[in-house]
Structure 1
């Protein structure tokens, strides 16, 4: 008793418990995630602390720069309030004295880089100013509504940051009251502008801005942030600011800076476009003697990404090394078991594939035999259908030339009747010679009728597609006989240039005649009633082929029709089916030739046939 190898069980190596591998995989993934999170968190804290330390050092330098600019201008009101020339101008505002003071203030402003220095009387009217010669001159302007004038008149001195109503430039207005023997004489005002400070700040990558005690931005390296607020401004304060024109028509909306949780203790800027989406560490420091606060945004890139990437890479390296060692040991143990399993599985798979392949080959052979038989039957049906289509096309052409053939037969028949009646009279008279002549003519006419009807019967007969040696001239003459009456009726000249030699081709005569009848019919249809209509059939030969050209002087074939001329149902005739040229090309192809339409004046068709 024998046993089939496919039925014999193969020993299978014991597999490692899947629970152990699953537990190990979960443990490895959890460890990697935890280690990555710890490394990222630690790197973020370290990097942010370094960014903050550097920012705190930088913000101290910028506070000193801003304070130095303010202190430099702050001494001017104090000194000018004690100047005798300034007092004399307020006590005796004569034109010459005021012009002299204007020149002094101009020189002083230029030397100290002050934005403007100007003198107000007790009504708040400007009587002298450093910009007296410019288009923005303050001389004659009324500043009694300004808080820096009102407060100076009541308290003696003040500082007020505001938007210039004439110069349209913001600045810090520092004012001091001048005292006379009988009371206040006026107020001296020095305007400190911070354009140079802002230009210096723009040289650094860290956006920097200073806010007042209400959180409104006064000085900023970003022009779009000026007069915006870090916190919402109460409505009553907005009303006061609007009344005093302190910040012009600024909307006092919130700065486009928002805190985020990741990374911790950082902010993101939403505008302008150059800073949008970037993350910063915000550092603040008070500006002594002003009540202002300086803010600096230190970018976290590229310090934070570099630090986190390095820490995560190092953690991943340690994890890979540890788990790699463990995995290598487990993989070696597992590899031996897998090799035994693979060998057994390979034997089983090979046997199954051999059996499956054998069955597939057997099925394929049966299927191939069936397909071959089906193809032979289909080929026979196609041949039969093609013959039927050719015959149907011939019968269609016969229907078109029936009237022409009837006219061709009617004339000889009428002549035969006339000659027969004349012959009877000649016989009655005993004129046998004239009777014989009439009988000879009747015989010739009968032969003509027989040739016409014989050609018609031969054309209508369902002929086999057997190729033989055929006279090209005889085929063309037969086609001309069938369509000759229509050509004469339309006054179309048929020109034949077949040469002196009787060319012979390999073809089926009736089917070849069908091709020429179809081309002549199409040409006559295209010419219609055109005067001087002409159809030309020319033939030439080389050693192996005969080339026949059928052309006319009609309107020719439209470009769109020529592209699809040999596709079924494509025609230029209103009542045509578009099958004549398709069948004609198939007939010529059966003979081993070619059939094509060429470009030129009128329609041109070229046929090549093997030379007999």
Structure 2
């Protein structure tokens, strides 16, 4: 025999390792590519949403600015203000302060005040407060000097009294002889910053130098987006409009493109920085949006791609192993077959004879099993027909009586018609129709009962099975002078089974019960239906003498019977039918209360 060589095993291992390395490289490249594509798409969506969110932030800021810019413009042309600055009368200036106070409350401005041409504040909306601007000299403020020179000015700075940052909007007030002074509205952005904080994304506004003026992060105020030269920082400190701010760089570290990462938060996530220029003259809005969803989507895509690739490679490897094993097994099989053929040559004839004998035995066994199944079906049908034969005599009497009555009513109807009494004849015809219907019900039930069951298991109404069985055994009940009592409610109960075979079981139990009370002066058979949750129990109880102990022990043994003409198969077949439906048939007996047979069946609707 030729043996399988293993000299190619190292070559196969090296080839397998090379394929594994190639598959790993392809998987890594594929996972990285898919992740990059998913991240690009997710980032595009994220940037689009960030742009919309930045526009919303800018709209909130522009709304506040536009609302306040109109106030100094209107006040600069106010006649009362011009008259107060011209006369500098105390009563006029007091009235002007009260007017500015009312306007400041209505416009929700932080402060509204008027500076005379000499730089002294002569009226202010906060004139009642300890921090009143009245009497303070603001001639050094750039917004004052620039407004006097150019007619208007805007400056963002810290308040010299309140120390709160805000935007100062200044307008020159002109008189007949020249400039009279400047009206100033200070706008603070606490509400805007609170609205930005509520949105949850860090946002800030920088001036052309990159200095943070308005921010949802209070710690970032007066920090710079990019470092300022030392001379520029010194000039800002000298002006004093930002107090003692250090102009430190913002805690943001660039991560390529528009990505940044905060350095003031532990384990900070990557964020996308969206810029919206010209939200106000020279101001740029910066919005930071967490890039975590895009990063997570990319990571998930990479992991899923890697997992799918691993599963695919595993499946291919398993198929390769299986194919290799099949190939090796086929090779071993060929070798073994060749060896077997050499050994079989001397025993071919003997094995052929044994094979023929085995084939004959298998065929005979199959034929025996076929005959056994047919015999079992015939035995069930024979038992049914035997019961049908016992029922037939009583049913014939049930039919003969209505037939005789039909004949008599028909003859009477002819006579009544001849005498001209159609109404009376009609009553006879109605009686004939009722008796014909009764005969039809009996014959239909006999025909259905005699039909061979098709073996299907389906939902079956318990009430139909009981009505059919009672109808078929009614004559037996009267012949044995036994009274049938029905207990329990069968309406609506449905079990798994087949009506014909269930009727066969119930007819068998009812006939046995009627025979058991045959010689009783007050024979009583009770048919009880009980809903037991997942099952339905149908009990047939008689008040006969009960079962002898030896009969009860072998009650379901084939060919064991106490009837002279019985075969001892009725209860055996009934039990097998119940078991075929997933149920059971049990018996109990006492000499005082008689025998009780309980048929338990599964509900069809559970």
- Corresponding position of 1:145: 140
Matched, 1:187 2:175: no
The answer on 1:259 being equivalent to 2:259 is no
Change in CA separation of 1:17 and 1:10 when aligned onto 2, cut-off 3 Å: closer
Instruction: Check if 1:332 corresponds to 2:322.
Output: yes
Q: Identify which of 41, 44, 50 aligns with 2:39.
A: 44
Q: Does 1:34 align with 2:25?
A: no
Counterpart secondary structure, 2:246: coil
Partners of 1:201 and 1:69 in 2: how far apart? 13
* Cα offsets for 1:466-509 (capped at 9, x unmatched): xxxxxxxxxxxxxxxxxxxxxxxxxxxxxxxxxxxxxxxxxxxx
1:287 aligns with 2:278: yes
Corresponding residue pairs, total: 327
Q: Does 1:318 find its partner at 2:313? A: no
Secondary structure of the corresponding residue to residue 99 of structure 1: helix
Residue 231 of structure 1 aligns to a residue in which SS?
A: coil
Aligned partners of 2:218, 2:190: CA distance in 1, in Å? Answer: 11
Instruction: In structure 2, list runs of 5 or more residues that go unmatched.
Output: 331-606
Structure 2 CA distance for partners of 1:140 and 1:25, relative to 1, 3 Å: same
Q: In the aligned structure 2, how far is the partner of 1:281 from the partner of 1:236?
A: 32
Q: Would you say the 8 A contact 1:201–1:208 is kept in 2?
A: yes
Task: State the match for 1:134 in structure 2.
Answer: 129
Shift of 1:76: 0.9
Match of 1:307 among 260, 274, 297: 297
3-state DSSP of counterpart to 1:174: strand
Q: Counterpart of 2:484?
A: none
User: Aligned partners of 1:276 and 1:189: how far apart in 2?
Assistant: 45
- Give a deviation string over 1:223-272, Cα, whole Å, max 9, x none: 011111112223333233222211111011111111114xx53110112x
- The Cα shift of 1:316 comes to 2.2
SS in 2 for 1:17: helix
Contact 1:145 1:244 survives alignment (8 Å): no
| Alpha-carbon contact 1:67-1:287 (below 8 Å) kept | no
Confirm whether residue 236 of structure 1 aligns to residue 231 of structure 2. Answer: yes
Q: Which runs of 4+ in 1 moved over 4 A?
A: 9-14, 333-340
Please list the CA deviations of residues 92-124 of structure 1 after superposition, one character each: whole Å capped at 9, or x if unmatched: 122221211111111101100111000101111
Structure 1 71/276 Cα, relative in aligned 2: closer, same or farther at 3 Å? farther
Calculate the TM-score normalised by the size of structure 2.
0.51
1:541 aligns with none
1:269 aligns with 2:262: yes
Residues 28 and 306, structure 2, Cα contact 8 Å, conserved in 1: no
TM-score with structure 1 setting the length: 0.51
Q: Which one has the largest radius of gyration?
A: 1
Q: Report if aligned partners of 2:258, 2:274 keep a CA contact under 8 Å in 1.
A: no
1:118 match? 113
Superposition map of 1:42-191 within 5 A: 42-191=37-186
| Structure 1 residues 323 and 180: CA distance shift in structure 2, 3 A | same
Measured after TM superposition, the shift of residue 324 of structure 1 is 2.3
Whole-angstrom CA distance in 2 between matches of 1:48 and 1:17: 46
Deviation at 1:309, TM superposition (A): 3.3
**Contact kept in structure 2, 1:63 and 1:287, CA below 8 Å:** no
- Asked whether the 8 Å contact 2:111–2:126 carries over to 1, the reply is yes
RMSD: 2.3
Deviation (angstroms), 1:189:
0.4
Is contact 1:212-1:291 (8 Å) kept?
yes
Partner of 2:199: 204
Structure 2 residue matching 1:330: 3-state secondary structure = helix
- Asked if 1 retains the 8 angstrom alpha-carbon contact of 2:277 and 2:283, the reply is yes
* SS of alignment partner, residue 203 of structure 1: helix
Moved more, 129-138 or 325-334: 325-334
Q: Against the structure 1 CA distance between its residues 338 and 122, is the aligned structure 2 distance closer, same or farther, given a 3 Å change threshold? A: farther
Equivalent in the alignment of 1:297 = 288
In the alignment, is the contact (CA less than 8 A) between 2:189 and 2:214 conserved in 1?
yes
After TM superposition, list the pairs within 5 Å mapping 1:586-597 onto structure 2: none
Distance in 2 separating the partners of 1:11 and 1:53: 66
8 A contact 1:13–1:337 mirrored in 2: no
Partners of 1:68 and 1:195 lie apart in 2 by: 14
The alpha carbon displacement at 1:202 in A equals: 0.3
